[in-house]
Amino acid sequence: MIRPARGALEECPACGAVAMGPVPKGASGFRLARCENCGHARKLLKDADDALAYAIDVEDREPATPATWLLGRLPSSITAADRLDVIDVGCWDGDLLAGLPQRWRRRGLEPNPAAAARARSIGLDVATTSLEDWPVEASSYDLVIMLDVLEHIDDPQTAVIRVQEMLRPGGMFVALTGDGASLGARRFGDRWYYSQYPEHISLFTRHGLETLLRRHGFETTVERIGHPMSGHLTDALKLAARLRAALGRGPRAANSSSLSLGFNLQTASRLLRGRDHLWVVGLKPPLDSGERS
């Protein structure tokens, strides 16, 4: 792991230690600030709108994580509930949300206008907004979902605070994001495929996420897992598609789905994926008897 340069250090948005500083610019061309305490890293953007410049076309987005996978990881106290208020933050075109039980009150937030419109076209209640800009409905949800979303957020501390406010006492927050301390991340450094997505701003570690959630009142567990949509065959097909695009034999898209130029070190690092994601579960403690009275 490349450590930050000595000098003026800032507070880490994950663990809270004053240990966040810039690291030398790598071969990938982007700059990182990294926490020497927990390893959390974030890209140093030229301005606040940089990430938004990489708008992914709805047709180019990789398939969503299946609702069956998510339901299989949730406890029976959740999946068996007759009534549940659930919100999917960063729901894209609503595929996962649509697969959740219809007896639940399902809502989504999605900042991409085209994706949000597609979700609404299939009857889903989806607001075209980000979590940061959405008026928080305090204690209104039993389950908050953020799959493949945390890495897009520049200020994860504010996001976690807002999620904590949204949840009812006893509610659950679940998230999936890349593991910045995985084998692939350590082996390839700033050439790791996951960090090459321009819109991936925050790179978390297990320690950083556990500390972040506990700092804001969650009982939490963070587990290293493989991404449910990964696999060597799937990744090999993606690499072949990128090579065709680089040679001018495939569709061109000015977004992260075509950011790699064929079969290079960045794209090859996909083949070392394994357990390179973090499955996050945060429980908001229920009210105790003193608070209820």
Up-side HSE of residue 255: CA atoms within 13 Å toward CB? 15
pLDDT (tens place) for every residue of the chain, 293 residues total: 556 666 679 999 999 999 999 988 766 667 889 999 999 999 887 644 455 455 555 655 667 899 999 999 999 999 999 999 999 999 999 999 999 999 999 999 999 999 999 999 999 999 999 999 999 889 999 999 999 999 999 899 999 999 999 999 999 999 999 999 998 898 888 788 888 888 889 999 999 999 999 999 999 999 999 999 876 566 666 666 656 655 665 444 444 443 443 445 565 666 667 789 999 999 999 987 455 54
Return d(Cα 225, Cα 162) in angstroms, integer.
26
Q: Which helix (H) or strand (E) holds 209?
A: helix 206-215
- What domains are defined for the chain? 52-231+267-292 (3.40.50.150)
Output the CA torsion 187→191→194→196 (10° steps).
170
Residues whose CB falls within 8 Å of the CB of residue 133, separated by 6 or more in sequence, listed in order: none
Residue-level pLDDT at 41: 94
Structure tokens at 27: 């071969």
Residue-level pLDDT at 129: 95
Characterize 90-129 residue by residue with b for buried, 16 or more Cβ atoms within 10 angstroms of its Cβ, and e for exposed. bbbbbbbbbbbeeebebbbbbbbebbbebbbeeebebbbe
Return d(Cα 188, Cα 276) in angstroms, integer.
13
Characterize 231-261 residue by residue with b for buried, 16 or more Cβ atoms within 10 angstroms of its Cβ, and e for exposed. eeeebeebbeebbebbeeeeeeeebbbbbbe
Q: Are 208 and 150 in contact (CB under 8 A)?
A: no
Residue-level pLDDT at 3: 64
Taking the CB of residue 7, how many other CB atoms lie within 10 A of it?
7
Residue-level pLDDT at 232: 59
